[in-house]
Structure 1
Amino acid sequence: MNETRKIPFPLDITAPVTLQGQPVPEREWIVPGWIPSRSVTMIGGDGGQGKTLLAQQLMTACAIGQPWLGVETTPCRAFGLFAEDETAELHHRQAAINAAYGVDFRDLERMEWTSRVGLDNSLGHFDQFERFTESALLGQLHAQLAGGDVRLCVLDSLHDLFTGSENSRTQARAFIGALRCLATEMNGAIVLTAHPSRAGMADGSGYSGSTAWNGAVRSRLYLKGVEGAKDRRKLTRQKSNYAPAGEVIDLRFKDGILAPLVGAQGVVASIRRGTARNAFMACLWALMAQGRDVSESSNASNFAPRVMASMADAEGYAVGELLRAMNEAFDAGDIRLEPVGPPSRNRRVIRPTDG
């Protein structure tokens, strides 16, 4: 007699007919076309090409609401785990990034990192049957990031965090699956840096071991040098489930960062910048009504973007976005600097041109 098969758990089934009349959800991005949300993105690159720098620039851009490599970002809190760089090196690198964006360390309230050089950074272990068991460190990441307000997590790098066989399809998919669970729980993106294999470097694909790594991640980017130009790099979108593959961003090392050779374009970027400028002007008028002066200097305690970022009229724009709006308002002639106070203690404050 056949025994009734026991079902351990019910399947979560969706009948498409129930979607009739429901709004189609927008796809969420941390960086449109490049870093999808609720997924794992891999950034590959040989040692010394700048992939860790690129990841730290991404964290900064999201934390201050500025573009990354000329592409708009979703402003959010960012966290990074760095297994190869000590805090002093991250500090040094961050100073150069801050200078490029025109911000200070006090503007990075939405950014955190941990340096784990010399520690056990394995996120899990495989038994003889290639079954994955998460480590205490991965458990700590779940406890710290899941359900919080961090929406970008950088993990640097794969060969420090993964202790299995990079050539095993089963292990590659299990590892990325574990990170995908973390991305889903934090409702954000995991960005994992990786070194390509020799074959991946030779053929330009950037593969790291088994091709299962490419299949498991939703987006894979590859950073490589340009022959004959030591200061040049190319970032290529090698694979994406949600955007065309093959797009390239040309980069150059400049003042300690990787800077795009061409700035951001596009209607969406223009609309957001214009709206940020409106928010800046609304904040300026509100501050004047309160008798509060603001400065253009990032070293001043009343630095305009920093003061405005906490105001309701700022509409959620971050310091970096308001800084960009301020500079554009100066260029457009919407605002000016006006000297106030006695000649012996003269200072300049921002005023609307028609104010």
Structure 2
Amino acid sequence: MVAFDLPKWSPDLTALESAKRGEKWAQRALESEAQIVARAMNGTRNNTLNNAAVKLGHKVAAGYLDPSEVEAALLQAAQANGLASESGADAALATIRSGLAKGMEEPQHPEDRPDYRRAPSLIVPQPERTSRFYSAADLDGRAVPARKWLVEGLVPQKNVTLFSGDGGTGKSLAALQMAVSTATGRAWLNIPVPKGRALFLSAEDDDDELHIRLDAIRRQMRLEWSDLGGLTLRSLAGEDALLAVETKIALMQTALFDEIEARAKDDQPSLIVLDTLADLFPANENDRAAVRQFIGILRGLALRQKCAVLLLGHPSLTGLSSGSGTSGSTAWNNSVRSRLYLERIVQDGYEPDPDKRVLSTKKANYGRIGGEMTLTWTEGVFLRDAEPQGLDALAAGAKGERVFLSLLREVTMQGRRVNAAGGLNYAPKVFADHPEAEGCTKKALRSAMEKLLASGKVKVVHGGSPSRPVTWLEAAE
């Protein structure tokens, strides 16, 4: 392929393009950091607020943000998470201004990133492919390879798993526990994990916070610090943590991504944890093409290094309300091979136990979906709750399926429609509020729905017009 120069822009157009890109980049950062602060867990809120202010201070110093708009947005977020009311608005504002001052010592522009300059000005040849065509008959006589897992049924090796949860639910803590289990060969939430090495990168928590959390995990697992030699940490808090940049052609991996892969080549980890998507992904989360390219970049890392990549993310408001845990484009769910979701147990706006969580399998290309486990936050770590066994477990599942089918038939006879996608007519939510729910919760009914769909006893019906398609549930005949 012959490379040729792209047309050069005038200096004025180049400057305008740079300014507009910087403003969009900074506004996206402001919205993301405000959300992270608003969702921060108790005990981490002041730290999170300071980190956010430092990151945004870089953009203020470069002229992309006004300090007053940053102060207002972060103060509002601190009020949303309760920090301002507990410590006082003045104390929260002091933290914000201190972080801003530190960040403003180093102005930051999009083009300042080393990887930015690698955006191609030429059309370059495609990399040489290693894949090849072959006949399926050639497999005759070869041993069938065993599918490899980091966590059986949940986290496959050589693939990307998306682990989502609302801010403050504790997904970072649960992921750090998984990394410790990998590095020590100890079970994670009572599930065996083969011993290997782990690489944990956090764009949210600073080194002190990682130290605090690791100490709690270490003490609960009765480990010495010397037992954690197989765990490599890096805090990117307050730094630009993008793993890719947008160009006119495609997403391109950054210098930071190259650093991570170089370290992975040295460490040979079984697990790489990337926390969190909002800091690492450079484009709009609704941009399907960019999402697929980004997951493709991470999948390439997983394949080359023969490890599991665990990407942490936040759900959208729709994903929260429906319980699906999705965010932005459906390409996030479609592109990964496994998706886990951690959520609080809330019924009709009431949370009976703030320390309880439910970890559910939302997608598993190589295993079963719909599985759930209940966790309890205890002394800084998550512990798995004992689950019903034998006949008790079968009875609970059978009851949920029976109630779901009964209520589905009832609402269908009434001419009403419920769906499996979410929103006001989300079947588990509608049925949990029904007088005949027999005490079944939305969680239990959601699990029942997944089992009934898998068994074919309930089906998804498609209708509506091409411009406004709709789906609803019906009991199979």
Do the two structures share a fold, i.e. TM-score over 0.5?
Answer: yes
1:135 counterpart residue number: 254
- Between the aligned partners of 1:11 and 1:143, the Cα distance in structure 2 is 23
**Secondary structure, in 3 states, of the residue corresponding to 1:184?**
helix
Task: Kindly indicate whether the alpha-carbon contact (under 8 Å) linking 2:182 and 2:270 is maintained by their aligned counterparts in 1.
Answer: no
Task: Kindly indicate whether the alpha-carbon contact (under 8 Å) linking 1:146 and 1:185 is maintained by their aligned counterparts in 2.
Answer: no
- Between the aligned partners of 1:174 and 1:68, the Cα distance in structure 2 is 31
TM-superposed deviation, 1:119: 0.4
2:297 counterpart residue number: 178
1:23 to 139, 143, 156: 143
Task: Kindly indicate whether the alpha-carbon contact (under 8 Å) linking 1:70 and 1:262 is maintained by their aligned counterparts in 2.
Answer: no
2:210 counterpart residue number: 90
Specify the code of the residue in structure 2 equivalent to 1:181: G
- Between the aligned partners of 1:247 and 1:46, the Cα distance in structure 2 is 19
**Secondary structure, in 3 states, of the residue corresponding to 2:189?**
coil
Cα 1:124–1:20, aligned 2, differ >3 Å: closer, same or farther? Answer: same
Residues 1:154 and 2:258 are matched in the alignment: no
2:384 counterpart residue number: 260
Q: TM-score, normalised by structure 1?
A: 0.70
Cα 1:9–1:220, aligned 2, differ >3 Å: closer, same or farther? Answer: closer
TM-superposed deviation, 1:148: 4.3
TM-superposed deviation, 1:105: 0.9
2:199 counterpart residue number: 79
TM-superposed deviation, 1:26: 0.2
Runs of 4+ in 1 over 4 A off after TM superposition: 7-11
TM-superposed deviation, 1:11: 5.4
Q: TM-score, normalised by structure 2?
A: 0.52
Residues 1:117 and 2:237 are matched in the alignment: yes
- Between the aligned partners of 2:130 and 2:357, the Cα distance in structure 1 is 49
Map Cα deviations across residues 245-300 of structure 1 (whole Å, 9 max, x no partner): 0100110011110100038x9xxxxxxxxxxxxxxxxxxxxxxxxxxxxxxxxxxx
Specify the code of the residue in structure 1 equivalent to 2:251: F
2:375 to 251, 256, 260: 251
Specify the code of the residue in structure 2 equivalent to 1:257: V
Map Cα deviations across residues 118-141 of structure 1 (whole Å, 9 max, x no partner): 101001112245x11111101111
2:314 to 182, 195, 219: 195
1:144 to 254, 258, 263: 263
- Between the aligned partners of 1:103 and 1:249, the Cα distance in structure 2 is 25
Specify the code of the residue in structure 2 equivalent to 1:134: Q
Task: Kindly indicate whether the alpha-carbon contact (under 8 Å) linking 2:375 and 2:384 is maintained by their aligned counterparts in 1.
Answer: yes
2:188 to 58, 61, 68: 68
TM-superposed deviation, 1:27: 0.3
How do residues 1-355 of structure 1 correspond to structure 2 at under 5 angstroms? 12-129=132-249, 131-146=250-265, 148-227=267-346, 228-262=352-386
- Between the aligned partners of 2:266 and 2:181, the Cα distance in structure 1 is 22
Task: Kindly indicate whether the alpha-carbon contact (under 8 Å) linking 1:222 and 1:235 is maintained by their aligned counterparts in 2.
Answer: yes
Map Cα deviations across residues 170-194 of structure 1 (whole Å, 9 max, x no partner): 0110000000000111100000100
- Between the aligned partners of 1:183 and 1:147, the Cα distance in structure 2 is 14
- Between the aligned partners of 2:233 and 2:129, the Cα distance in structure 1 is 38
Specify the code of the residue in structure 2 equivalent to 1:12: R
Percent of paired sites with the same residue: 38
TM-superposed deviation, 1:239: 0.3
Specify the code of the residue in structure 1 equivalent to 2:153: G
**Secondary structure, in 3 states, of the residue corresponding to 1:76?**
coil
- Between the aligned partners of 1:96 and 1:172, the Cα distance in structure 2 is 35
Task: Kindly indicate whether the alpha-carbon contact (under 8 Å) linking 1:35 and 1:189 is maintained by their aligned counterparts in 2.
Answer: yes
**Secondary structure, in 3 states, of the residue corresponding to 1:192?**
strand
- Between the aligned partners of 2:175 and 2:134, the Cα distance in structure 1 is 37
Specify the code of the residue in structure 1 equivalent to 2:331: A
Structure with more of its chain in strand, by fraction: 1
Task: Kindly indicate whether the alpha-carbon contact (under 8 Å) linking 1:146 and 1:182 is maintained by their aligned counterparts in 2.
Answer: no
- Between the aligned partners of 1:133 and 1:112, the Cα distance in structure 2 is 25
Cα 1:229–1:10, aligned 2, differ >3 Å: closer, same or farther? Answer: closer
TM-superposed deviation, 1:14: 2.3
Structure with more of its chain in helix, by fraction: 2
The CA RMSD over aligned residues, in Å, is: 1.8
TM-superposed deviation, 1:147: 6.6
TM-superposed deviation, 1:104: 1.3
**Secondary structure, in 3 states, of the residue corresponding to 1:18?**
helix
Cα 1:9–1:62, aligned 2, differ >3 Å: closer, same or farther? Answer: closer
Cα 1:87–1:234, aligned 2, differ >3 Å: closer, same or farther? Answer: same
- Between the aligned partners of 2:246 and 2:174, the Cα distance in structure 1 is 31
- Between the aligned partners of 1:146 and 1:240, the Cα distance in structure 2 is 27
- Between the aligned partners of 1:255 and 1:140, the Cα distance in structure 2 is 35
- Between the aligned partners of 1:149 and 1:128, the Cα distance in structure 2 is 34
Q: Which segments of 5 or more consecutive residues in structure 2 lack a partner in the other structure? A: 1-125, 347-351, 390-477
Specify the code of the residue in structure 2 equivalent to 1:182: L
Map Cα deviations across residues 13-63 of structure 1 (whole Å, 9 max, x no partner): 121111111110000011110110000001100010000000100000111
- Between the aligned partners of 1:231 and 1:147, the Cα distance in structure 2 is 38
Task: Kindly indicate whether the alpha-carbon contact (under 8 Å) linking 1:221 and 1:237 is maintained by their aligned counterparts in 2.
Answer: yes
- Between the aligned partners of 1:17 and 1:173, the Cα distance in structure 2 is 32
- Between the aligned partners of 1:40 and 1:76, the Cα distance in structure 2 is 18
**Secondary structure, in 3 states, of the residue corresponding to 2:355?**
strand
Task: Kindly indicate whether the alpha-carbon contact (under 8 Å) linking 1:82 and 1:117 is maintained by their aligned counterparts in 2.
Answer: yes
Cα 1:238–1:9, aligned 2, differ >3 Å: closer, same or farther? Answer: closer
**Secondary structure, in 3 states, of the residue corresponding to 1:258?**
strand
